[in-house]
Amino acid sequence: MQISTVISRSLMGVILIFSSCERKSPEKATNLSSAQIKSIMESVHDPREGGGKVNYAKEISKDSLISEWVFDKKGNVVNEKKYNSRGALIAQSIYRYDKRDHLIEVKAYHFKNLFRKTINKFDSQERLIETQTVDDHNELKEQKKVSFDDNGYRIERNYKLIGKDLSLEQEHFYNSKGSNTENRSFSNGKLLFTELNDFDKQGNRVECIRSSNSGKEDFVIQFKYDKLNRNIETVRLNNSFMMQSRLIYRYDEHNNRIESFSYGTTGKLREQITWIYEYDETGNWIRKTTLVGNHPLSVTVRDIIYY
């Protein structure tokens, strides 16, 4: 089971409000290992150079946290914890599933105090139809409602409590293949902008067009992929189709991103980021060194325990 896939499951059930055009195009990576992961402990450290090799300080980086994920034997996240540099628990999320492995509840704690609970509801066809987020007094703060049109295409609407009323913030529309083809963002019920997405035959998003409420295009983002469906290029164009930025990505044989090249409007290289990985015997990475240019920025260390 690949670590990046596993950890991403901890975001399930949480309503996220942001522009889909600005999201990183998802990486479709192949599972590397069938080994069952019991827990992951992850920390970020300052790099230490010496002897031609980048090592790391024993202490975690300033203002950094230690993260821990615990999984059941089915690969579901059941507990997520955050510790400070002294090892004290400061935040925790507990995940609960039904007999069919649907995530039905997430309780989030700050220190030992419950401050948010997310509840998912499913219909008789096992489709997610509603997500509610309540505070520590069980008062509704956010809500996602899912409906289906006559063709069975999914429509999602996200609401947030503004004053005493739930206000529509986002609408998401999907096609027959489950691809997110259109997004609309609102503020106090007023349409702010619309995003239209186009996909290739493999289901990769190849273009995102964002338009203001007047219908005028703001910008276009185009994506390219390799034969393994990995995002290798992202180009942002303004409404005159002039390039604003360009990102090029490279990957290793484990499908982890190892280089990112950022170019500006003139085509000049603005920034190069490199990631160097060390893997355990199952193929999951246990150390990631991040370099900007040739200068080490951070070292992320993982302690993985298997069943």
The model carries a pTM of: 0.85
Element (H, E) at 269: strand 269-279
pLDDT number for residue 42: 98
Write down the domain spans for the chain.
Answer: 3-49+61-306
pLDDT number for residue 25: 42
Cα–Cα distance for residue pair 194/15, rounded to 1 Å: 19
Residues in the chain with pLDDT values less than 50: 1, 5, 8-18, 24-32
Q: What is the largest CA-CA distance in the chain?
A: 66
Q: Classify residue 71 by burial, with Cβ atoms within 10 Å: 0-12, 13-18, 19+.
A: buried
Strand partners, 150: none
Cα–Cα distance for residue pair 58/45, rounded to 1 Å: 7
Average per-residue pLDDT for the chain: 91
The string over 30-43, giving b where at least 16 C-beta atoms fall within 10 Å of a residue's C-beta and e elsewhere, is eebbeeebebbbbb
Say if CB 37 and CB 75 are below 8 A apart: yes
pLDDT number for residue 215: 85
pLDDT digits (tens, 9 = 90+) for 217-273: 999 999 999 999 999 999 999 988 899 999 999 999 999 999 999 999 999 999 999
Helix (H, G, I), strand (E, B) or coil at 4: helix
